[in-house]
């Protein structure tokens, strides 16, 4: 209960101190609002605020959508543009799937988890166009906007990217492994409050 009270207190503080930000957050309750940011695939770079990103990155990342989720409607798969995208562009479906879903202790030592995240339109993800990040903000947040744009352009040239990434997520019926890192990324569609869209209208 204390977590709920703290979340509501934070919402009230944001509504009082940053009313425009609060109003924008409420628009994200609508799936169509998220869809306009995430679709068409690869068209728009966005900034995604979520607890899945570490504190050292201020819990946010520049992302771009690259594939529709193959089995879950109103969900897309996006790439963290601040990370290494070479493996995503060059890896096979099996290689990427193993790197995404295998527990950390079962991965090859030199393989890190690719920066793939799922964004669910109906779970109030906090997403905004990258244009909200001013140059001073980018410096403060350690976001290289030039590199972000180049990464997007590189992804746009990757052959069969949407098909390959979609295939990676085709088999999600297995029980998720007991890996904290995996669990964090799988929770990527639940942002900050971790509540469903129906609860986002509460003050």
pLDDT tens digits, one per residue of 121-132: 999 999 999 999
Range from 5-14, 118-127, 183-192 carrying the lowest mean pLDDT: 183-192
pTM of the model: 0.81
Which burial class, exposed, middle or buried, applies to 198 when counting CB atoms under 10 A from its CB (0-12, 13-18, 19+)? exposed
How many Å apart are CA 53 and CA 185, to the nearest integer? 9
The long-range contacts involving 177-183, CB below 8 angstroms and separated by at least 24 positions, are: 177/101, 177/102, 177/103, 177/106, 178/103, 179/102, 179/103, 179/104, 179/105, 181/104, 181/113, 182/100, 182/101, 182/103, 182/104, 182/113
Helix (H, G, I), strand (E, B) or coil at 175: coil
Per-residue pLDDT of 66-103, as tens digits, reads: 999 999 999 999 999 999 999 999 999 999 999 998 87
**pLDDT in the model for residue 90:** 93
Residue 113 has pLDDT above 90, yes or no: no
Per-residue pLDDT of 153-165, as tens digits, reads: 999 999 999 999 9
Residue 173 has pLDDT above 90, yes or no: no
Fold (topology level) of 31-195: PX Domain (3.30.1520)
**pLDDT in the model for residue 112:** 78
How many Å apart are CA 133 and CA 167, to the nearest integer? 33
Tell me the domain boundaries of the chain. Answer: 31-195
Per-residue pLDDT of 12-28, as tens digits, reads: 999 999 999 999 999 99
Q: 114: pLDDT confidence band, cut at 50, 70 and 90?
A: very high
């Amino acid at each position: 209960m204390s977590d709920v009270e703290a979340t509501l207190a934070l919402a009230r503080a944001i509504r009082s101190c940053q009313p425009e930000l609060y109003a924008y957050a409420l628009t994200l309750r609508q799936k169509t609002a998220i869809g306009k940011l995430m679709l068409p695939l690869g068209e728009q770079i966005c900034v995604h605020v979520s607890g899945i990103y570490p504190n050292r990155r201020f819990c946010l990342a520049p992302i771009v959508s690259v594939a529709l989720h193959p089995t879950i409607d109103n969900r897309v798969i996006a790439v963290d543009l601040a990370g290494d995208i070479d493996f995503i562009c060059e890896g096979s479906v099996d290689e990427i799937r193993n790197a995404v879903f295998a527990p950390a202790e079962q991965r090859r030592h030199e393989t890190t988890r690719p920066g793939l995240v799922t964004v669910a339109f109906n779970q109030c993800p906090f997403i905004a166009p990258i244009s909200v990040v001013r140059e001073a903000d980018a410096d403060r947040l350690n976001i290289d906007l030039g590199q972000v744009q180049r990464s997007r352009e590189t992804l746009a040239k990757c052959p069969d990217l949407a098909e390959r990434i979609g295939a990676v997520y085709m088999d999600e019926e297995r029980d998720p492994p007991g890996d904290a890192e995996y669990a964090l990324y799988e929770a990527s569609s639940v942002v900050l409050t971790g509540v469903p869209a129906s609860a986002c209208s509460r003050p």
